[in-house]
Amino acid sequence: MPAQAAAPTDKPLIYCTDASPEGFDPGLWDSASTNNVNNQIFQGLVRFERGGTALQPALATRWEISPDARVFTFHLRPGVHFHQRPWFTPSRDLNADDVMFTFGRFLNPDHPFNKAFPATFIYPQNLGLAKAVASLEKLDAMTVRFTLHQPNVTFLSYFAMAFAGIQSAEYGAQLLRDGQPGQINRLPVGTGPYRFRSYAKDDVVRLEANPDYWGTPQKTQRLIFTISREAAVRVQKLLAGECQITSPLRDIDVAALDRHADRIRLMKIQALNISYLSFNLRKPPTDNRLVREALDIAVDRDAIFRALFPRGDAMQAVNPFPPAIPGYNTRLRNEYNPARARELLRQAGYPDGLDIDLWALPVTRPTNPNGQLMAQLIQQDWARIGVRAQIRTYEWGEYLKRANAGEHSVYMSGWAGESGDADDFLSPNLSCATNKTGVKFCNAEFERLIDTARATPDAARRIALYEQAQEIFKRERPWITMAHSTVYIPTSLDLRGFRMQPNGGVMFENVYRE
């Protein structure tokens, strides 16, 4: 795309975000707060259209897919420069070596960089990427080819996801020579419209416009992420003009900002998202299916929704993805039945109830605007069937780390999809690839259905397979499904060019203040 002249503005663009980034190597992380920062710095071979799920060229200008959806060949964009930073000066443009380096880390545990900087690539691991890819080849300096063991009709969308941001192989080699491979997660180098300046932990991330960007030069020269954990504080900062846009609002904040239409623009989208409570399937008592079903049907979702979603914009989640996505099983239902829940506990060997820990989400999300309140309401519901729940919570990064280690019995989580495909919810969260430690769901029958669906081009057949998979999910109950929500993002009236993404994320390319 030819670069168009743009008049730079000295007005900084400030985003009030709800949590600190965990790091700046996109392959390592899959939380929304981290992706929102890294998506300004890094780019994939393809990208989702702004405000939608259609795929567009990015660092690849075109691609070919074999008729059996097993071979994917990408032709790279010429003239793409990596960021020049005080810690790295590129000597060449983007080429196939950078794709080989980026994906080599995901596919090969013995990659030299992985030996020097051992890492868990959460999203690639959860997608089963290393197992799925038979070969990755550099055909020439600007062409790469991925060959899969099995067909995968969703594979192209992987390259638009946050984890697939292309890293500089030259930068990786420099870090290895200097004995500082861990810097790849602290001092990022990408190709995106903004480049990294600095990060003050739990306070602020500063980015600046990339003067060598292959696309349109950015009008916004300074892009700043200020970190405020408290939702009310973010709203006050917006009203005070201290930021021009915030992370998604809680219901209560939407009502408060409705009164300020003269100063604030309120944008909304029915997002592709879900909140849920995830059971630890490795240890008692939640390794018992009867206990999981009892805990699920003891939750009074109607009461929770009246408290957490008073505007009525959220929808109770029945299945692991929202009804807007093809393949949603409309025959399944939630149940609220404390009497049957008590009977299930008795059958499971807990006639006198049981003790359990319940982890409350420490950050606000559109699908879970108040984790502590949700936990308290569920605690009361469970008490009615003799379950004594102890509520715990931790700082966000610690919460994720401890949950991944399986310290919990039940913890609150959520997901936002990007591609509009059922596989984008099921494979990263409920496939056996996600279950390295036995904490998460792994069911052979469910796995066969989603694997077959991924390899099936016929839309009607895929839908039938996903409907069957949801029946197994509902029978086994690895989650208590909670909510799909509308996402509200407020902006100042002078903000131009911003479009909401279906996953609630933010992209600031070509966004500026007038």
User: What's the pLDDT score for residue 485?
Assistant: 93
Specify whether the CB–CB gap between 88 and 178 falls below 8 A: no
| Residues 78, 59: Cα–Cα separation, whole Å | 9
- Compute how many other C-beta atoms are within 10 angstroms of the C-beta atom of residue 176: 16
User: What's the pLDDT score for residue 13?
Assistant: 98
Ranges in the chain, pLDDT < 50: 1-3, 5
User: What's the pLDDT score for residue 6?
Assistant: 56
Nearest CA to 354 out of 403, 389, 307, 318 is that of 389
User: What's the pLDDT score for residue 270?
Assistant: 83
**Phi and psi (nearest 5°) for 251?**
-55, -45
User: What's the pLDDT score for residue 3?
Assistant: 46
The helix/strand count (H/E) of the chain reads as: 17, 21
17-51: pLDDT as tens digits: 999 999 999 999 988 999 999 999 999 999 999 98
Query: Which domains occur in the chain, in start order?
Result: 13-224+494-513 (3.90.76.10), 273-486 (3.10.105.10)
Which 3 state secondary structure label does DSSP give 223?
A: strand
